[in-house]
Structure 1
Amino acid sequence: MTGNPPDYELADRLALTEPAQVRAVGHPLRTTILQLLHERAATVTELATAVGRPKSTVAHHIGVLTRTGLVQVVRTRQVRAIQERFYGRTARVFFVAPEPSQAQDFPRDFNDFEIAAKESAVAYEQGKLWGFIRHARISADQAAQFWDRMAELVEEFDRLPRTGETTYGFAVGVYPTDHPTLPEKS
């Protein structure tokens, strides 16, 4: 497939502002479904086949994603007496953007890096993991500006044509740490 995936119209970005939305993307199967729908719209049957799970399980998770506004029906087709629904994402990129007053309501167990660590273990063992970790003492404003640049890179990654044989993960983050710093010069 060439061009910008997927094969239906969708927004570029959607801020996840509700705890239910964050919980929805925090489930590994729902994350996988969203990733598959980034390639093209799909039916519950197609998704169930791709993930090797029962249709009823996938239908449940599609329901959660639909109720939280992350997935929608993008087209239908008549198959005998049944109206078959094709589901698609509502945006290319989802990002967590809680209001400061709501931050305490968000699930504490949602961590993209935990998922990335689990997914990357096999690649690490096979010598196929590319990664960096860096620390820099910068201002909050600089961190926010850097994050905006990283978000652009994530969007570029999401827009790549789905033409390869291997699915690659891409994890990025900016976070405060208690990494040691040198004292001020005397």
Structure 2
Amino acid sequence: MADLFVVSSAEHFKALGHPLRQRLLFALGQEAATISQLATMLGTAKGNVAHHLGVLRDAGMVQPAGTRQVRGGTEQYYQRAARKFDFVGEGARANNTVTLQAVGAELLTADDDPMVILRNIRLTREQVAELSDHLRQIVDGLTDAGPGESRYGVLVSVYRPRQV
């Protein structure tokens, strides 16, 4: 698995245009999974997962990662193409809306009470830059605890609403 995948083309953003595709990338996280495993994790039909996984595969965001023998056949494992996805270009802003829809769906099915904090505060540009750098360092500095541990989503955003 590569360290970074730069999402920049229209094909990439189109592939991420459905919340389930984003949730598939969340679910794959650091380890490979089969269509059956993903369908169970996300509470949806295997055919639905297979279709959306195919779109991500065609865009190069997901790749095959081995097989396993099961009764009557072989199941394909899939993994993310990279550990981290960086969104750049014209489609990045529109992608945020779909990402937030996907996170909202994740929050609805979360095992524990998720921590969500939304605060509006007046800041200087310097404070915004310092806050953004600090949050980026915290998230980038997190180390994956390994396959035996629970998966958590971390969403961090600093934004300035449209001024009236």
TM normalised by structure 1 equals 0.65
Alpha-carbon offset, residue 170 of structure 1:
2.0
**1:161 corresponds to 2:146:** yes
Task: Give the Cα–Cα distance (whole angstroms) in 2 for the partners of residues 86 and 127 of structure 1.
Answer: 30
Task: Give the Cα–Cα distance (whole angstroms) in 2 for the partners of residues 93 and 128 of structure 1.
Answer: 22
Cα shift readout 1:23-44 (whole Å, capped 9, x = no counterpart): 3334222222212211421111
Residue 108 of structure 1 corresponds to: 94
Alpha-carbon offset, residue 161 of structure 1:
3.5
Task: Give the Cα–Cα distance (whole angstroms) in 2 for the partners of residues 18 and 63 of structure 1.
Answer: 18
Q: 1:20 to 1:149 in 2, by over 3 A?
A: farther
Count matched residues.
160
Task: Give the Cα–Cα distance (whole angstroms) in 2 for the partners of residues 148 and 28 of structure 1.
Answer: 28
**Which of these two proteins has the greater Rg computed from alpha carbons?**
1
* Identical-pair percentage: 31
Retained in 2: the 8 A contact 1:62–1:71?
yes
Alpha-carbon offset, residue 131 of structure 1:
2.1
Segments of structure 2 that go 5 or more residues without pairing to the other structure are none
Moved over 6 A (4+): none
Paired amino acid for 2:115: L
Pick the aligned partner of 1:174 from 154, 158, 163.
158
Of 88-97 and 28-37, the range deviating more from structure 2: 28-37
Residue 34 of structure 1 corresponds to: 25
Q: 1:97 to 1:138 in 2, by over 3 A?
A: same
Q: 1:128 to 1:106 in 2, by over 3 A?
A: closer
Task: Give the Cα–Cα distance (whole angstroms) in 1 for the partners of residues 49 and 113 of structure 2.
Answer: 33
What CA RMSD, in Å, does the superposition of the two structures yield over aligned residues? 3.6
